[in-house]
Chain A
Amino acid sequence: MAGLSSTIYNSVFKRTSTFALACVGAVFFFERSFDLTSELLFDKINEGKLWKHIKHNYEK
């Protein structure tokens, strides 16, 4: 455990450049997963009511 945390510290958190890069990367993955999860939740709650659920009836 100590080995892992010191590896992470030395490779990511020690230098500002890698730390900033890690922030940017983490934000990308967090934002995508958070956004998709909340969209999924909204679609689940409103199953059958949204336009995307009924549009196949009207598209040729």
Chain B
Amino acid sequence: MAASVGRICGAGLLKPTCGLTTSQISSFSTTREWTRGRKALISTLGVLAGGAGALVLALDQSVKASDLELHPPKNPWNHKGILSSLDHASVRRGYQVYKQVCAACHSMRFVAYRDLVGVSHTEDEAKAEAEEQLITDGPDENGNMFQRPGKLSDYFPNPYANEEAARAANNGAFPPDLSYIVSARHGGEDYVFSLLTGYCEAPAGIVLREGQYYNPYFPGGAISMAQALFNEVLEYDDGTPASASQLAKDVATFLKWTAEPEHDDRKRMIIKATGIFSLLIAVTFYIKRHKWISLKTRKIEFKPRK
């Protein structure tokens, strides 16, 4: 390989400006001897083949009706910035919405009451929240399960005993666990918000079965969950007007927190990592210049022996 390259280019490769190489390479082209008509034929064929390929691709894309779904619009969440934390007042309101509305059907089995402490509730409030729930514990010394008020270490209770009970109570549809739902759905909190506020009349031609509702943001359109959030469906402790979109926004923020409890720490670490790494890059750059300067400013002279 090296020998043939050397034969073609010769000493031209070693020269700083190599005008010789380009003129030599063009003389190796096999299309130089083609007639004008043949060149025109070949280029017409190329254009036709490319156009046909693009047409086939476009036609194929246009008939993919299965991909017809409504993508949720991007909302300006106030935790969206690269350094923006979650709005913890909103997380607290979202917990209230979850507890009073969603928890009737949806479990949240990876979140414990102790997780609320220092995020949306004080320790005493979280204890009070836990004690409102009856938790099945046991077995006791006689081998029986028993009920007791919740403790801080308890996870959020499941509204149904098991998945089959949940399906039986909901027309065969299983209400998904909401712990990581924001990470588990395309669009994240935008999807949750759009789904909760996006219920509408089914368009003509869509057949809904018994117990199904129409929601354009739900893949397929037919969803077994009825619209749950309406204006003033509950009253916020902090006096925020409880419109349906406010409820959806708060519960989406709460679900964002349950899916990514490390969210705020992650953004705090961005500041620290940026600071430390910019210092380290500056030091590395200085050391590199320091070490290389003697090499870069050196001049090598060739003195042939007389």
Q: How far is the CA of A6 from the CA of B260 in the complex (A)?
A: 54
Judge if B122 is at the interface, Cβ distance under 8 Å: yes
Judge if A57 is at the interface, Cβ distance under 8 Å: yes
- The closest CB in chain A to the CB of B125 belongs to A58
Q: Which residues of A contact B121 (CB under 8 A)?
A: 58
Q: Which residues of A contact B92 (CB under 8 A)?
A: 54
Q: Which residues of A contact B268 (CB under 8 A)?
A: 38-39, 42
Whether A49 contacts B87 by the Cβ 8 Å rule is: yes
- The closest CB in chain A to the CB of B84 belongs to A46
- The closest CB in chain B to the CB of A41 belongs to B271
Q: How far is the CA of A42 from the CA of B272 in the complex (A)?
A: 10
Q: Which residues of B contact A58 (CB under 8 A)?
A: 121-122, 125
Q: Which residues of B contact A51 (CB under 8 A)?
A: 88, 118-120
Whether B122 contacts A55 by the Cβ 8 Å rule is: yes
- The closest CB in chain A to the CB of B82 belongs to A45
Tell me how many residues of B have a C-beta within 8 Å of chain A. Answer: 24
A21 CB to nearest chain B CB (Å): 22
Judge if B86 is at the interface, Cβ distance under 8 Å: yes
Q: How far is the CA of A51 from the CA of B261 in the complex (A)?
A: 13
A16 CB to nearest chain B CB (Å): 21
B169 CB to nearest chain A CB (Å): 35
Q: Contacts A38-B268, A42-B85, A46-B84 hold; do A57 and B120 have CB atoms under 8 A apart?
A: no
Q: Contacts A54-B89, A55-B122, A58-B122 hold; do A49 and B275 have CB atoms under 8 A apart?
A: no
Whether B83 contacts A45 by the Cβ 8 Å rule is: yes
Judge if B78 is at the interface, Cβ distance under 8 Å: yes
Judge if A50 is at the interface, Cβ distance under 8 Å: yes
Judge if B238 is at the interface, Cβ distance under 8 Å: yes
Judge if B131 is at the interface, Cβ distance under 8 Å: no
Judge if B264 is at the interface, Cβ distance under 8 Å: yes
Whether B85 contacts A46 by the Cβ 8 Å rule is: yes
Between A and B, 11 residue pairs with Cβ closer than 8 Å are A34-B272, A35-B272, A42-B85, A45-B84, A49-B78, A49-B88, A51-B118, A54-B89, A54-B92, A55-B122, A60-B124
